[in-house]
Every structure is written in structure tokens, then in C-alpha cells.
Amino acid sequence: MLFKKRGTKTKDLGNHPERIAGLVDTSYGRPDEPLPSRVEGLRAWIEAEWQHCDDLLLREVDVHGTRVLLLWIRGMVDQARVEEGVLNPVSTLPKRRTDIGHLESVLHTVHVRRVKTRQELNAAVSDGQVVLCIDGSKEALILDVSQPPGRTIEKAEIEPTILGPQEGFVENLELNIALLRKRIRSPRFKVESMRIGVYSKTNLCILYIEGITKPALVEEAHQRLRKISIDAVNDINKLRELISDAPYTLFPTSEETERPDRVVAGLLQGRIGFMLDGAPTCLKVPTQFIHFLTAAEDYYMHFTLTLFIRVLRHVAYWASLLLPSLYVALLSFNQDLMPTPLLVTVASQHRGIPFPTILEALLMMGAFEVLREAGTRLPRAVGQSVSIVGTLIVGDAAVRAGLVSPGMVIVVAGTGVASFALPAYGFVNSSRIIQFLFVGIAGLAGLVGIVVFGLIIVTHLVSLRSFGVPYMAPIAPFSWQDIKDSFFRAPWFANTKRPGQYETLDSVSNRTPAPRPPNKSHLGEGKR
Amino acid sequence: MSKVQISRFQIILALVWSVLGSGIVTAPFIITQFVIRDAWITLILFTVGGLVSTSVAALFVRVLPNRSLICGLIDALGPWLGRVFGLWILVWMYLVSCKTLREGTSFVGITILPQTPLYIIAFAGAIACSYAVYMGAEVVMRNGEFISPLALIVFPTLFALSMQHLDVQNLMPVLADGWHPVLRAAVTPDVTYALELLIGLQFAHMLRNNRTLPKDMIIVTGIITVLGILLAVVTVGVVGQSAGYLQFPILEAVRSIRIGRNLERLDTLYILGVMSTVLIKLSVFHYAWCEGMKDVFKLSSHRIVALSGGLLVWAGSIAGFRSQLEVNHFMISVAPAYFVVTLVGIPILAVLVMAFRKRAKRRVC
Amino acid sequence: MIWLALVTVICIAAVDTNSLRQASRHEITVYAALVVLALAMSSLVSWHLWSDVHLIAPFDAMFGSMTKWLYEIL
């Protein structure tokens, strides 16, 4: 009956999570069954359960006549701590009756907890902890000496800054959470853990600040996560696609960052974060369009400088989207818009080019994208060479051969440079695709086509929501309060409230009075 | 599905663009058919039309609160008679949509795409609007919000730049031909366009507090009056008496801008800006029509008719108005009386009937 | 124009498939009426019949004289 549902023979167990758990989880349909009290029985069960898992180590120790079974996975534990914190204390126990309570009190150098079921035992072993079972006890001790392989904290590579903190997340969830905890030393900073992925059982954390974040937002996150039933979630992008508001849009509706300082800033705004074990990034929601045009560094320099940089970035974004299409429209339809001397120059450059402008643009943009992709995929030293060869030599050769006009090379290169000025990598990728659509439209209908298609894109953008928050806020819907950190950044003393769109429980983020000129009578006038 | 809500700021912007969107294209030509030097005075009188619209809206939202225009008609006049009058309003909305699309199409076709068939240009516009309408009222309003800052940059810049050619003598002497031409010129902008503000009633139930709608309409009237006077002064000041022979006098004023040797032909920028605002107006009217269709025909969602209705507007804009001359004829010779009967007569009738019914009910109680 | 209208009708029918599946009979009737009207108007233009058909004429007849009177009293 179960397998005939929807008229297919596929074994769809999606509506039966308990059955999935029974099949793949731990104990062949008996996940909550207690552990055998005898070591022989336990060993037999473990050997059957972990059959063909040669990385599992089983070690039996005789402690004054009591059999003790230890098991762990090779490579997932800190070997030195196993020796010093587990094996040495167990082998040097004073001669007395050994029971689980006694062992728990002796093994005080490591974190110890008790488990009762087979499922808990399997989960602990998978997590890289040492399991200690003692003959005659229906409980086992879990000794936390896990040290899964991973790198140490390094500089953020995707979002580098010159000023401000340099730390970036790594693949270790505990380390990542610690990086955040280091910045928010408050019990209000909540880290709710859960496991997702039927097979991967990946540890996922929902991060938020109690008292700031709207509880409905956290509940919405829980609801979306509860719906996930997939083999494995090993990457933040998979999670993003599974909980996305608009799965088919090119524009990202959640923000990914590898910088703990950005996550902290987001949490303090009333947003929530998702972190996944094995993923060196954090996913922040709700997210607006404007977030992708702000960089961490904007907050580490004076606000007056930020205004200039942000305006420049907005111009760069629209240039990366529209520059080639505007060039195509001007040359194909709206030549009258160009000043006559410039038109003469451009027309003379274009003489002898065998392709129409639109095709020339598409070819150049395609070649540029291929070069960019090659530069990214190859090792860094080779990648740089490819970029140089591509841009300088191939571009120059194409112009000399009369295949493309110098103007087109400048426009496409300018578009590329403009896209490099954008801080969010995923967002840049969306503009890479949309610019092709704009060029196609410009080739068909000129500036009118660009305006109409632009309006369609704007309509799409204003229709998007991220966890219930309008994507184009604070522009549409307009909010004066939130615009203070959009095209410009108001000085910190003027930025007193959290973004209104998130409907935070505590709306005030800053109660510092605006600085005033120093009191002369108090400080004195100083030496002339 | 949560109730759609729109803010006061959004409705103000939507109403401003609903009048200026196509008003900026056609109204100058119509005004200059009667009066040139005193064109700016006709736009002072816009306040009168705006206040008439506001009064109708105030009465409507007072007697029929939290209802759209068509819902109010059905509630006040009963399901059958209300639907008949509702259909009449729907036809009006449809005609305004067709006229708006035709105005935008002709404007773009004549100015920058003379080789492209008009139905292709109209089709592009209809698609953009239908998509916005399909996505809902919030999206239509947000589009207006998004376009407004861009318009706030482009239009004042063009306005300021064209001031360099302004000759005040072109505006003198004031009222040399008396009041009659001014009053006749004022009929279309100050009756027809001012009454278009009443499209706001169709969105009244979406406002957080619909009692604020009349106040918002007064603000809109003020904004449009000021902008209209400035535009009239600059256009006539720059173009002079030749405005009477031009189809698009404002365009000619913008075309006169030249800065140095290289910066010229900013009129294309103006055309693109106007095109965007025309599309906003079209979206507002088309959405209002779809909501009205939903109420009259008891549809489950406005989306059922958003795309097919868009197609009908596109076809109607070409088949109904065969040329820009017909649009101008409609606006000068048909629209004033048609709009007064439709937008003043019918809502006032509904208000009176509802008031009478309420009083009768109170007496029975 | 009629070809463009036909292609568009197919496209919007594809987009609206889900809505139409759940729609009641009278909703489909309204939808079909709008589409047929649009096609009829497109064919008027495509087959050059529109010069003989003045769709705004009824409004002209109803309100033309009233508007004329309005201008006269001014």
C-alpha cells in the first residue's frame, strides 16, 4: 500500500519519518531499544550494526575483573586525550568494585554523559566520541574527546577587508559558534541545535538574540526546517534552496557570509542565522536587496567615506547589469543620443566588423565569462596567467583581427570590473546572467526594450519576500528609518533604531547621545 | 492569505503617477489648443477639480467605509443594479487603460521608435503592466515607489536645465484674451484628469485607515498643481507660441537642452522616464479593473483576469483608438462629460441611496 | 497583430493553467470572453476592418453633445 502511493513503485517514505529513522537511522527499526547489559551481547550487536566499518575501533579492557568495552572511530577523536583522559585513568583505577558511577567520577578530565539507547550510542560514535560500556550496566558513558579533522581559523577569503576583524568561519560548527559567542557575551544569544539529513544527520544551529528577534521569525524558521527530509545536507546552499521563499528567482533571498562580525551585526538587527556543521559560512535571513551592496568594511570606516563607497557600488551594480545593453541599444537603435564626435569615432571603429553589434556583444561577454570561469577554477598562479593572457593578448588579437571593436572590448571589460566591485559573490553571479538578457532585449528593442524589461525586473524584485520581509525594503516599501543604512550609512550616534521591517521586540539599538563639543571649563582650552 | 495593505505614501505616489503618467503626454497639447500664454493659470484651477474629487471620495468613504468603489456600489444599490453600475465603471476603467496605453505607445512610437509597429510597442507595455498586476496590489504600489526616486532625479534635472532657455516674455501679457479660453482649456486637465484621482476609491479598502484617503487626495492635488504650473511655465517660457503647433510641447522644451558640445538630446531620457510613469498609471488602472471584475463577477482572485485582461487592454488600445488624434478627440470632446457622469454621478448616487437606506433602517429600529 | 494575439493567448493559457484548473465554470466563461474579445479586436486591426468600426462611437454619441454644451457655457 505504501509503495503504490501516487501510482509509482518508488519507495517513497517521505510521509513516514519514523520509518525512515527505523530503516537508516540506527538500530534496524529498534532505535529506542535499550543497550544489552552484558558486554558480549553489546559487542555482538555493535559488530553487526557497524559491519564493514573498518574505521571503528573496539577495545576491551579488564578493570579488576570487570570487562569494559571502549569504541570510537579512528581519526575523529583526539588520540592524546583518549590516552590521557580515558585509557590511563581506566587502567590505573584503584582496586574496588567497578561500576558506571565510579567510572563517571574518575573520568573527570573529559566531558562525560550517559546514554541508554542504541540510537544515542550510534549518534555518539558517529560524532567522534568515545563510548565506554561496562559489563552489567544498561547504560554507557559518552566521553567527549572528539576532534574531527578540520582547519584552524583563517582570514576571510571571499569577503576580505583591509580594516576591521579578519577572522573567517571554518568547517567546524563549534568553533564557528565560539567565534560568535566571543562577540556576543550574553545568555540572550541563543543557539538552537537540531539534526537534519536522514543519513548525514548534520548538526544545524539556529542563531538569534532573544528579546530582539521577532519570535514568529524563529518559529517560521523552525517550520521550514521541520519540512526538510533529504538524504544529506552538507552545504549551506542546499539548505538555502530547501528553505527559500522564491526557489526559482535569480536573486538570492538569503545572505551567506563567512565573517562572524557580519553575522553578529545581522543578529543584532533582529535577523536569524543558520549554521551548518561542515559549512564555513552562515546563512542570514531575512535578507534584502540592499544587503548585497553593503560590505563589512562600510562599518569600519568613517560614515562620510561610506557614503561615497556605497554610491559607487550602486553605480557599479547597475553598470555591471546595463553597460553592454546600453552600448548595444545606442549603436543599434538610438544613435541620435550619442554626441556627434563620439558617434563618428564609434562608427569608424565598428566599420569592417563582420558581426552585428548584438552578436559582437554576446560573443565578447561569453568569452569574458569563459575566461573568468577558467581563472576561478584553475590554481591561483595559473588562473592569474589565464586572466592576463585572456584580457590582454586575446582581446588585443581580436581587435587587431577585426573581429570586435575596441569600444566593445572596453565596455565588456568595464562591465567585468564593475561586477568585481560588488561584495556579494552570489549576487554578482545573478547579474552575470541578467546582463545577457538585457543585451538580447536591447538588440531587439533598444532603450525602450531596456526600460520595459527593467520594469519587469523591478516588478519581480518588489514582489520577492525573504521570510516575510519585502526584498526591496527600505526603497519599496519606503521606510525612512531603515534608509539610514542603505545608500549611505548614518553615523552611529544617529543610527539609534533597528530596521523596522524586522519588527523586533526591542527597537532601540543605541541610546548613546550625539557627541557635543567638549566642555571647555572641564577640559581646559589646552596649550596654544 | 493575509489582507493586502498599502500605505498612505504608496497611495499618494500611485495617484500622482495616475494623473501625471499620461497627463504629461496629452494635457499640454490639449491646453495649448485653447490657450498658450496663460496655460499655467489653467493648472491653478486643477485644485478645483481635485477638491471636487476629494469631496466625492470623502462622502463615499464616510458612508461606505472599508469598501472599494465597486463593492460600495454593489452594497449600496443592491446586487443587480449595483453590478450594472459596476460594469459601467469597469468599462470606464478599461477605456482609461486603453487610452493610457495608446498615449504611451504613440509617444514612444512618434519620438524614438518610428519604424516599429505600434502594436509591438503596446504589447511590451501591456506585458510589463500585466505582470505587475498579476503579482498584486502591493507590487503595483511598490513599483510606483521604486520609480519615484528616479523620477525625482530625472525630472527636476531636466526642468532645471531647460530653465536656461526660459524667456518670461513668452508668458506675457497675462489674461490678454480674457478668462474664457483659460476656462475652456481647463476643462480637460481640471475635470477629466482631476476626476481620475477617484481611482483611489478602488484601493480604499486596502488602506490601513481609509478615512485618510481624502487627505491624501488633497496632498496629491497640491503636488500635481505645483508640478503642473512649473511645467506649464517652463514649457511655454521655452517653446513660446509654437507650443500651439506641437504634439508634445514639453518634449520640445527638453529637446532644447544643450550643454557644451557633447551633451544634447536629453529628450530620450525624458521619453524613457515618461514611459515608466505611463506604465505605472496603466498598472494602477488595470489592477483596479481586475479587482472590479473580481467583485462584479464573483471571481476567486484578480489573477484570473490579470493576463487575459491585459491582452484585452492591448487589443483595445489599438482597435479602440485608431490614432493619437482619436485619443485627443476623446479627451477633449467626450471624456469631460463622461467622467463627470461616471465618477461624480454614480458614486454620489450610491452614497445617497446608502444614506437613505441607513436612515430608513434606523427609523425601523 | 492577430498572430501575436494568438501566440499570447496560448502563452497566458499556459501560465494560467493552474488557476484555470481550480476555477469555477463562470470564471472560465469570463476568462474566455476576455480572450475572445481580445482576439476579435486584434483581427479587426489585422484585417484592416478597424477603419470602418469606431468602437468609441457610442460614448461619443452619448457624451459628445454634453461636453460641447460644457464648452459653450464657458
Q: What is the pLDDT of residue B363?
A: 80
* Closest to B259 measured CA to CA, from A171, A339, C21: A339
pLDDT for res B3: 67
Given a cut of 80, whether residue A514 has pLDDT beyond it is yes
Q: Where are the domains of chain A?
A: 32-144, 173-287, 299-470
Q: Identify which of B25, B57, B58, B23 has the alpha carbon closest to the alpha carbon of residue B43.
A: B23
Map residue B301 onto helix, strand or coil: coil
Give the pLDDT score at A64.
81
pLDDT at B60: 94
How sure is the predictor about A30, in pLDDT bands with cuts at 50, 70 and 90?
low
Sorted by sequence, the CB contacts under 8 Å of residue A282 that are 6+ apart come out as: A169, A176, A207, A236, A256, A257, A258, A260, A263, A273, A274, A275
Among B304, B316, B332, beta carbon nearest to C23: B304
Determine the residue among A459, A471, A503 to mutate to test chain B binding: the one whose Cβ has the most chain B Cβ atoms within 10 Å.
A459
Question: What is the C-alpha to C-alpha distance for residues A179 and A282, in angstroms, rounded to an integer?
Answer: 12
CA B121/CA A152 separation, integer angstroms: 59
How many distinct helices (H) and strands (E) make up chain A? 19, 12
The minimal CB distance from C26 to the residues B297, B305, B337 is found for B297
A28-37, A264-273, B32-41: which range is least confident on average? A28-37
pLDDT surpassing 90 at residue B86: yes
pLDDT over threshold 60, residue A196: yes
- How far, in Å, CA of A472 to CA of A486, rounded? 11
State yes or no: pLDDT of B95 exceeds 50: yes
In Å, how far is B279's CA from the nearest CA of chain C?
A: 19
* B268 with A446: Cβ contact below 8 A: no
Q: Span A145-150, mean pLDDT? A: 84
Q: Which residues in chain B are closer than 8 Å to C64, comparing Cβ atoms?
A: 333-334, 337
Mean pLDDT confidence for B316-329: 89
On the question of pLDDT at A234 being above 60, the answer is yes
Which residues of chain B make contact with C45, given a CB cutoff of 8 A? 119, 315, 318-319
Q: A256 by DSSP, 3-state: which?
A: strand
Sign, Cα dihedral of B127, B132, B136, B140: negative
Alpha carbon distance B146, A209 (integer Å): 32
**Pairing of the two strands A56-63 and A66-73:** antiparallel
Percent over 90 (pLDDT), chain A? 33
Place of cell 524563529: A218
Confidence bin at A1 (pLDDT 50/70/90) = very low
Higher pLDDT, B10 or A17: B10
**Which pLDDT score, from 0 to 100, does residue A2 have?**
40
How far is the alpha carbon of B121 from chain C, nearest alpha carbon, in Å?
12
Q: Pick B146's closest partner by Cβ from A337, A446, A458.
A: A458
Question: Which pLDDT score is estimated for A6?
Answer: 44
C-alpha–C-alpha distance, residues B162 and A298, integer Å: 38
CA distance C17 to A412: 41
Q: How many CB pairs under 8 A join A and B?
A: 88
Q: Do chains B and A touch (3 or more CB pairs under 8 A)?
A: yes
Candidate from A8-22, A110-124, A163-177, A488-502 with smallest mean pLDDT: A8-22
Kindly determine whether residue B131 and residue A476, on different chains, have CB atoms separated by under 8 Å: no
Q: CB of A415 within 8 A of CB of A302?
A: no
Whether residue B97 is predicted with pLDDT greater than 90 in this model: the reply is yes
- pLDDT range class, residue C53, cuts 50, 70, 90: confident
| Cα–Cα distance for residue pair A239/A256, rounded to 1 Å | 11
Termini Cα distance of chain B: 37
Q: What is the pLDDT of residue A18?
A: 54
- In A192-302, where does DSSP find H-type helix? 215-226, 236-243, 260-269
Is B7 within 8 Å of A445 when comparing Cβ atoms?
A: no
From residue A130, how far is each of A67, A194, A202, C29 by CA, in Å?
Answer: 16, 21, 19, 70
pLDDT of residue A25: 47
CB B105 within 8 A of CB B282: no
Among B21-35, B74-88, B295-309, the least confident range: B21-35
The Cα-based distances of B178 to B60, B232, B271, B314 in angstroms read 37, 18, 34, 42
Q: What letter represents residue A189's amino acid?
A: F
3-state secondary structure A487-500: CCECCCCCCCECCH
CA–CA distance, A327 with A404 (Å, rounded to integer) = 14
**Smallest Cα distance from B330 to chain A, Å:** 27
pLDDT one-digit tens code per residue, A404-420 = 888 888 898 889 888 88
What is the pLDDT at residue A24?
47
pLDDT greater at residue A376 or residue B325: B325
For testing contact with chain C, the best of B291, B304, B324, B327 (most C CBs within 10 A): B304
pLDDT, chain A, mean: 85
Give the C-alpha separation, B141 to B287, whole Å. 10
For A454-510, the pLDDT digits (tens) are: 999 999 999 999 999 999 989 888 888 888 888 888 898 888 899 999 999 999 988
Q: Which one of A449, A451, A476 has the shortest CB-CB distance to B276? A: A451
List chain B residues with CB under 8 Å of C74. 180, 183-184, 187
Residue A397's pLDDT band (cuts 50, 70, 90) = confident
pLDDT for the residue numbered A26:
44
The string of pLDDT tens digits covering residues A175-195 is 899 999 989 988 899 999 999
Domain ranges of chain C: 2-73
Residue that the C-alpha cell 545593453 belongs to: A325
Q: What is the ipTM of this complex?
A: 0.93
| pLDDT at C66 > cutoff 60 | yes
CB contact (8 A) between residue A477 and residue B275: no
Which superfamily is assigned to B8-359 in CATH?
A: Amino acid/polyamine transporter I (1.20.1740.10)
Return d(Cα B96, Cα B185) in angstroms, integer: 20
Residues of C whose CB is below 8 A from B330: 56, 59-60
| Percentage of chain B lying above the pLDDT 70 cut | 98
Residue in chain C lying closest to B120 (CA): C1
- Give the pLDDT confidence score for residue A120 in this predicted structure: 87
Element (H, E) at B249: helix B249-255
Which residues of B fall below an 8 Å CB-CB distance to C? 95, 117, 119-120, 123, 180, 183-184, 187, 293, 297-301, 303-305, 307-309, 311-312, 314-316, 318-322, 326, 330, 332-338, 341
Report whether C19 contacts B301 (CB < 8 A).
Answer: yes
For residue range B256-277, list pLDDT tens digits in order: 887 766 666 778 888 888 899 9
Statement: residue A95 has pLDDT above 80: no
Per-residue pLDDT for A5 more than 50? no
Give pLDDT, residue A101. Answer: 84
